[in-house]
């Protein structure tokens, strides 16, 4: 998808791009052994994580960069991530390039689960591969949100993590909300 769009985005990164990588930085109070977990639930307790813990040092490794794991290790800047994801917010086309039919985009928007997410410990709605929030969908360690109704996609990427147990991390959502308010 990235090549026809001219997006600087990759799953698995060749050695020629290593010099361009901004390494992930753990929260200031923690080391590169840190593995992000679900935020504290409304009752202040942490939900048990039965999945694989991915530490900061894992994501900064050469093995991680070379792996092609589309669910978790895409590499790109915010502009390219937004461009790739904008295909879903625009019925399958972006920048004059059609990559999917409108029907092919529908799984990204259609709800497949609604209820308490046992990992996040909060009521959640999921489509195929994305969290659904009202008429928008998205998810990510940084943040990318698409709104098919307004044909808008906003991406935010960061390298400095924040310890969610000590402070809320609203950096990405503030950018999404500002972009959304600019439409109205």
Q: pLDDT tens digits, residue range 4-28?
A: 999 999 999 999 999 999 999 998 8
Residues 76-97: pLDDT tens digits? Answer: 999 999 999 999 999 999 989 9
Cα separations (Å) of 110 from 113, 131, 137? 9, 10, 10
Please write the tens of the pLDDT for every residue from 33-77. Answer: 988 765 555 555 555 655 677 889 999 999 999 999 887 888 999
What CA–CA distance (Å, rounded) separates 105 from 102? 5
User: What count of other Cβ atoms lies within 10 Å of the Cβ of residue 33?
Assistant: 11
């Amino acid at each position: 998808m990235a090549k026809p769009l001219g997006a600087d985005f990759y799953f698995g990164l060749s050695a020629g791009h290593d010099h361009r990588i901004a390494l992930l930085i753990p929260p200031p109070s923690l080391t590169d052994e840190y593995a992000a977990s679900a935020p504290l639930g409304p009752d202040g307790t942490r939900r048990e994580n039965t999945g694989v813990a991915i530490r900061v040092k894992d994501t900064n490794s050469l093995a991680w960069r070379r792996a092609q794991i589309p669910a978790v290790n895409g590499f790109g800047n915010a502009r390219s991530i937004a461009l790739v994801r904008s295909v879903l917010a625009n019925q399958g086309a972006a920048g004059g390039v059609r990559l999917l039919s409108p029907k092919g985009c529908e799984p990204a928007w259609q709800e497949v689960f609604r209820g308490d997410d046992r990992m996040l410990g909060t009521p959640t709605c999921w489509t195929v591969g994305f969290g659904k929030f009202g008429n928008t969908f998205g998810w990510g360690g940084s943040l990318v949100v698409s709104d098919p109704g307004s044909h808008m996609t906003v991406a935010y990427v960061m390298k400095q993590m924040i310890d969610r147990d000590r402070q809320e991390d609203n950096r990405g959502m503030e950018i999404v909300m500002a972009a959304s308010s600019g439409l109205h």
